[in-house]
């Protein structure tokens, strides 16, 4: 009997420990845990900065390489031109030499015959003259032959040089093409790192703001933030704009600016001028604010509890922000106004006035802090809100 009691106590202890563990590994965040996540974001930012610098250096050296290859090509082409001229000159010289020899031979020649050398030789009137004539013929023939050989060798060398230079040019052009390709891909990498770095910088400052808010609220370092922060629940989400039309849905698409096939992280709502009020979709608390990001502009993220479930709504490309972190909002609260056009020149990721509206599971900034986690928890707003088909308007929320 005592033994059974003992086992029961152990079982209950294990069970409660296990439940505690499960709670700890889900979203029961403390200030201390948030601070650790902030540090991780800072480390990632530093490594991105390092990667960016390295990529920039790689691009620079590829560009230098291209410049020197182009220089070498120009020089090679000049050398080819010179070699061609030299061949022409030598050709002419050979022709002239042959002509000169013919003239010389003719002047010694008395009769036309098959073998002018022999005729000339055998017409000698004495042995002395024979030797003399023989020497002249021999010298003349040797000299001319030597000259012609020399020139023909020159031509051959020159032609070989031209072939060699041409091959070198082809090689250099190939090199330029591959360097240009690597600059392209390095540029892409740089784009991605640059966007990510920008996100992380914004991430760090907004996480810091949230930590300061919890701290000022009096949340303890190890206190469960859910107990410290009260978010008024709601039953459903409403559209963030009174009037609007969907210009682009959530999901994969070709980006209108970069042309890349990427996930469109929100639902684009157009049909409003810049400065039109944007409302919170439901009761909630302002959990995260990002100001003037170069890609996304002014952004507000609101924590909601809808039917007991934690979600975050996000609002991008705002002209201005009308709330602060920790503000308790309702669906009647104006949180900012529509931007994304001429009045938000700092935001390079918008082609015209519109709201980029997002819905994600959990509380972005508290349940998790990284943007990539937020993206992985996104939902399609079309499936949550009653949205009309593309380009048709609604006039009430």
Supply the minimum distance, in Å, between the C-beta of residue 377 and Zn ion: 17
Nearby residues of 269 by Cβ (< 8 Å), 6 or more positions away: 239, 240, 241, 244, 245, 246, 247, 354, 355, 357
356 binds Zn ion (CB under 5 A): yes
Of 244 and 266, which has the nearer Cβ to Zn ion? 266
CA 346 to chain centre: 20
Q: Which DSSP category does 295 fall into?
A: T
Supply the minimum distance, in Å, between the C-beta of residue 381 and Zn ion: 11
How many residues touch Zn ion under the rule CB under 5 A: the total is: 3
Of 173 and 372, which has the nearer Cβ to Zn ion? 372
Of 151 and 358, which has the nearer Cβ to Zn ion? 358
Supply the minimum distance, in Å, between the C-beta of residue 357 and Zn ion: 8
By CB under 5 A, which span of 7-15, 110-118, 195-203, 355-363 interacts with Zn ion? 355-363
Of 9 and 263, which has the nearer Cβ to Zn ion? 263
In the region spanning residues 236 to 295, those forming contacts with Zn ion, defined by CB under 5 A, are 266, 268
By CB under 5 A, which span of 45-53, 62-70, 95-103, 350-358 interacts with Zn ion? 350-358
User: Helix, strand, or coil here: 226?
Assistant: helix
Residue-wise burial string across 164-176, b where 16 or more C-beta atoms lie within 10 A, e elsewhere: ebeebbeebeebb
Nearby residues of 127 by Cβ (< 8 Å), 6 or more positions away: none
* CB contact at 8 A, 250 and 380: yes
Supply the minimum distance, in Å, between the C-beta of residue 49 and Zn ion: 27
Of 8 and 263, which has the nearer Cβ to Zn ion? 263
| DSSP per-residue string spanning 321-389 | E---TT-EE-TT-EEEEEBSSTT-TT-TT-SSSBEEEEEEES-BTTTB--HHHHHHTEE-HHHHS-PPS
By CB under 5 A, which span of 46-54, 93-101, 323-331, 351-359 interacts with Zn ion? 351-359
201 binds Zn ion (CB under 5 A): no
Give the span between the Cα atoms of 394 and 396, in whole angstroms.
Answer: 6
| CA distances (Å), origin 56, targets 7, 53, 60, 246, 336 | 65, 5, 6, 39, 37
Residue nearest to Zn ion as judged by C-beta position:
356
Provide the 10 A C-beta neighbour count for residue 290.
24
Supply the minimum distance, in Å, between the C-beta of residue 76 and Zn ion: 51
Q: How many Cα neighbours within 13 Å face the side chain of 126?
A: 3
Supply the minimum distance, in Å, between the C-beta of residue 303 and Zn ion: 21
By CB under 5 A, which span of 150-158, 282-290, 307-315, 352-360 interacts with Zn ion? 352-360
In the region spanning residues 19 to 38, those forming contacts with Zn ion, defined by CB under 5 A, are none
| DSSP per-residue string spanning 364-378 | BTTTB--HHHHHHTE
Of 113 and 251, which has the nearer Cβ to Zn ion? 251
Supply the minimum distance, in Å, between the C-beta of residue 266 and Zn ion: 5
Supply the minimum distance, in Å, between the C-beta of residue 297 and Zn ion: 11
Of 266 and 336, which has the nearer Cβ to Zn ion? 266
In the region spanning residues 111 to 150, those forming contacts with Zn ion, defined by CB under 5 A, are none
Of 132 and 346, which has the nearer Cβ to Zn ion? 346
Supply the minimum distance, in Å, between the C-beta of residue 328 and Zn ion: 27
317 binds Zn ion (CB under 5 A): no
Name the β-bridge partners of 357. Answer: 267, 315
By CB under 5 A, which span of 125-133, 239-247, 305-313, 353-361 interacts with Zn ion? 353-361
Token pair for 86: 């030299």
Of 67 and 257, which has the nearer Cβ to Zn ion? 257
Name the β-bridge partners of 368. Answer: 364
Token pair for 9: 């106590």
> Which spans of this chain sit near Zn ion (rule: CB under 5 A)?
266, 268, 356
């Amino acid at each position: 009997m005592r033994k059974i009691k003992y086992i029961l106590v152990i079982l209950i202890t294990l069970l409660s420990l296990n439940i505690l563990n499960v709670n700890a590994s889900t979203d029961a965040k403390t200030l201390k845990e948030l601070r650790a996540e902030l540090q991780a974001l800072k480390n990632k930012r530093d490594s991105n900065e390092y990667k960016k610098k390295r990529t920039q250096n790689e691009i620079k050296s590829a560009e230098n390489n291209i410049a020197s290859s182009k220089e070498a090509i120009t020089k090679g082409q000049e050398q080819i031109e010179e070699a061609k001229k030299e061949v022409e000159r030598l050709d002419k010289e050979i022709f002239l030499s042959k002509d000169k020899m013919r003239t010389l031979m003719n002047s010694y020649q008395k009769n036309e015959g098959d073998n002018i050398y022999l005729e000339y030789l055998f017409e000698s009137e004495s042995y002395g003259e024979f030797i003399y004539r023989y020497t002249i013929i021999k010298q003349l023939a040797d000299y001319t032959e030597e000259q012609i050989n020399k020139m023909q060798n020159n031509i051959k060398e020159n032609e070989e040089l031209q072939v060699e230079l041409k091959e070198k040019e082809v090689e250099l052009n190939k090199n330029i093409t591959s360097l240009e390709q690597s600059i392209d891909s390095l540029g892409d990498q740089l784009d991605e790192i640059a966007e990510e770095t920008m996100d992380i910088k914004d991430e760090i400052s907004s996480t810091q703001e949230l930590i300061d808010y919890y701290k000022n609220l009096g949340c303890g370092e190890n206190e469960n933030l859910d107990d410290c922060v009260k978010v008024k629940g709601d039953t459903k989400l409403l559209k963030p704009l009174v009037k609007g039309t969907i210009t682009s849905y959530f999901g994969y698409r070709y980006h209108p600016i970069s042309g890349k096939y990427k996930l469109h992280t929100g639902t684009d709502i157009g049909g409003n001028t810049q400065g039109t009020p944007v409302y919170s979709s439901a009761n909630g608390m302002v959990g995260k604010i990002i100001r003037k990001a170069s890609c996304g502009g002014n952004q507000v993220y609101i924590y909601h509890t809808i039917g007991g479930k934690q979600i975050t709504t996000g609002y991008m490309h705002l002209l201005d922000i009308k709330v602060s972190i920790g503000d308790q909002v309702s669906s009647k609260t104006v949180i900012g106004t529509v931007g994304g056009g001429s009045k938000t020149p700092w935001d390079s990721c918008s082609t015209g006035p519109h709201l980029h509206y997002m819905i994600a599971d959990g509380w972005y900034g508290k349940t998790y802090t990284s943007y990539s986690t937020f993206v992985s928890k996104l939902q399609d707003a079309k499936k949550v809100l009653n949205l009309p088909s593309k380009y048709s308007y609604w006039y009430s929320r």
